Amino acid sequence: MFITFAVVFINTSKMEIVRTVSNIKELCAQARNEGKTVGLVPTMGALHAGHISLIDRARKENDIVVVSVFVNPTQFNNPEDLRTYPRTEEADCEKLQAAGVDFAFIPTVEEIYPEEDTRVFDLGQVAEVMEGAMRPGHFNGVAQIVSRLFAMTNPTRAYFGEKDFQQIAVIRRMAQLEGFNDLDIVACPIKREPDGLALSSRNVRLTAHQREVAPAIHATLASSVNDAASMTVAQVTQSVIDKINAYEEMEVEYYQIVNPITMQPIAEWSEAPDGIAVGCITVYLGDVRLIDNIKYNLK
């Protein structure tokens, strides 16, 4: 008689929840002193499979994984957006524990900013367009919090999702300005729902009907890739805007096809470095603001 044993992997190592800056500094410094690598995944919580994919990557590539969960007030230029940002600490901690995180860093606003952060970063042209133009102060706030997290945790690698494509360029610029030269900033691919909608903490705020139409954003972007062979940059841009605005529920805030290094809009496909351009979009569904992007490979 044969008995079959099912082997189920259960993560049994205990995650530590860290609330203070001094504690996270100490734990990370100790790990680095022991010769361990530290992977940092900065988040604002309301964790979904997109965040978990960053954590999985950090888990594979580092000895210690730190995830910060902090809704950073300095990057919200709209108080209502800050107020309504989903906060789900208990569920987040369960997900972090299951994902094998070592330290969940969950500080209060007072812990991170005992005094107002008045630093203004010279983020240059990567921060001037798109999100930078639409959300004044947003990227400076991102630079403030991420520079603090880098200084506290001294990570070997830090992981960011490509849904916020421009944010990664801004963080690279901040890291260069602040001298975080040994730190590897790892850009990870966008995670999508089966119907194509990019995973976002904001998706939970969509009504059932908005959720039904939202996949048209990615579908439109994906089909525009085929148009690049026969249409100009301006024509593709306009066609994406028109197709999405044709849905009564959606309104495009901007769609720009940019150089993926400088973030500057290109006028001709030939301006795309190594034949790669990226189309970045922001769409309002009611008061929910969703962002997404697509790569045009012109080679």
Complex with ligand PAF: residue 145 or 197, whichever CB lies closer: 145
If one asks whether residue 69 binds ligand PAF (CB under 6 A), the answer comes out as no
Nearest distance in Å: CB 167, ligand PAF: 6
Specify the DSSP class assigned to residue 198. Answer: B
Which tokens sit at 172? 């690279």
**Of 224, 198, 196, residue with least CA distance to 290:** 198
Interface segment toward ligand PAF; rule CB under 6 A; list 22-30, 98-106, 139-147, 211-219: 139-147
Complex with ligand PAF: residue 139 or 296, whichever CB lies closer: 139
51 is catalytic: yes
Nearest distance in Å: CB 165, ligand PAF: 11
Q: How far is CA 292 from CA 41, 50, 178, 281, in A?
A: 20, 13, 28, 5
Complex with ligand PAF: residue 42 or 233, whichever CB lies closer: 42
Can you tell me which of 106, 146, 168, 199 binds ligand PAF, judged by CB under 6 A? 146
If one asks whether residue 42 binds ligand PAF (CB under 6 A), the answer comes out as yes
CA distance 65 to 166: 24
Angle between helices 165-178 and 138-153 (to 10 degrees): 60
The SS3 call for residue 66 is: strand
Can you tell me which of 43, 200, 203, 224 binds ligand PAF, judged by CB under 6 A? 43
If one asks whether residue 102 binds ligand PAF (CB under 6 A), the answer comes out as no
Catalytic residue among 48, 51, 209, 218: 51
Complex with ligand PAF: residue 76 or 296, whichever CB lies closer: 76
Residue 252: phi and psi, rounded to 5, are -75, 130
The three-point CA angle 188-190-194 to 5° equals 140
The residue whose two tokens read 């963080």 is: 171
**CB neighbour list of residue 100: distance below 8 Å, 6 or more residues apart:** 11, 13, 55, 59, 65
Complex with ligand PAF: residue 166 or 220, whichever CB lies closer: 166
Can you tell me which of 18, 142, 221, 250 binds ligand PAF, judged by CB under 6 A? 142
Q: Are 63 and 37 in contact (CB under 8 A)?
A: yes
If one asks whether residue 72 binds ligand PAF (CB under 6 A), the answer comes out as yes
Nearest distance in Å: CB 184, ligand PAF: 16
Binding site for ligand PAF (CB under 6 A): 42-44, 72, 75, 142, 145-146, 164, 167
Residues noted as catalytic: 51
